[in-house]
């Protein structure tokens, strides 16, 4: 079971990750090591040509990985991104983007996970895939 509910995660991070609020990202489900998030389509922050900007998807991936880390790690709130590698696989539709995040490894000092992103309503073909490494604060071991 997740250490934290989706609603509590969103509430906690309102201050620490203001961009998620700017973009109005919603955590739809949060289980231990797994999360599903939704980035609404907003034409003003998006790339011209009616698609979703790369940076908006990188923000989404980073936030999704933060959620799965907090679902599992006692010291997850202090997690800091050390690497995020995003590959853009196809042009997203002018639609919301759904992110499915999965924690692959949660060690004492490092956590690592992946995020697959889809255009809402077309979940067969991913539009982007990201992997991220996070440093966890040393006080986990209490």
Decide if 51 contacts 92 (C-beta within 8 A): yes
Residue 29 Cβ vs its own copies, minimum distance, rounded to whole Å: 21
Give whichever of 6 and 63 is closer to its own copies, judged by the CB atom: 63
Give whichever of 30 and 118 is closer to its own copies, judged by the CB atom: 118
Residues that bind its own copies (CB under 8 A): 15-19, 22, 44-49, 53-56, 58-59, 62, 80-91, 104-105, 107, 110, 112, 114, 116, 125-126, 129, 131, 133
Residue 126 Cβ vs its own copies, minimum distance, rounded to whole Å: 6
Give whichever of 5 and 81 is closer to its own copies, judged by the CB atom: 81
In the block, tokens 């490494």 appear at 133
* Cβ neighbours for 72, distance < 8 A, ≥ 6 positions apart: 2, 3, 32, 33, 103, 106, 111
3-state secondary structure of 59: helix
């Amino acid at each position: 079971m997740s250490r934290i509910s989706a609603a509590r995660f969103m509430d906690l991070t309102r201050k620490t990750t203001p961009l998620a609020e700017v973009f109005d990202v919603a955590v739809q489900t949060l289980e231990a090591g797994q999360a599903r998030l939704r980035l609404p389509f907003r034409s003003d922050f998006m790339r011209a040509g009616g698609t979703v900007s790369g940076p908006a998807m990188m923000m989404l991936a980073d936030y999704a990985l933060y959620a799965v880390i907090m679902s599992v790690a006692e010291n997850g709130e202090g997690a800091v991104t050390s690497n995020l590698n995003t590959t853009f696989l196809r042009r997203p539709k002018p639609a919301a983007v759904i992110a499915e995040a999965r924690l692959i490894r949660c060690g004492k000092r490092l956590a690592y996970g992946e995020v697959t992103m889809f255009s809402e309503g077309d979940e067969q073909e991913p539009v982007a895939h990201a992997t991220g490494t996070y440093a966890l604060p040393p006080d986990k071991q209490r």
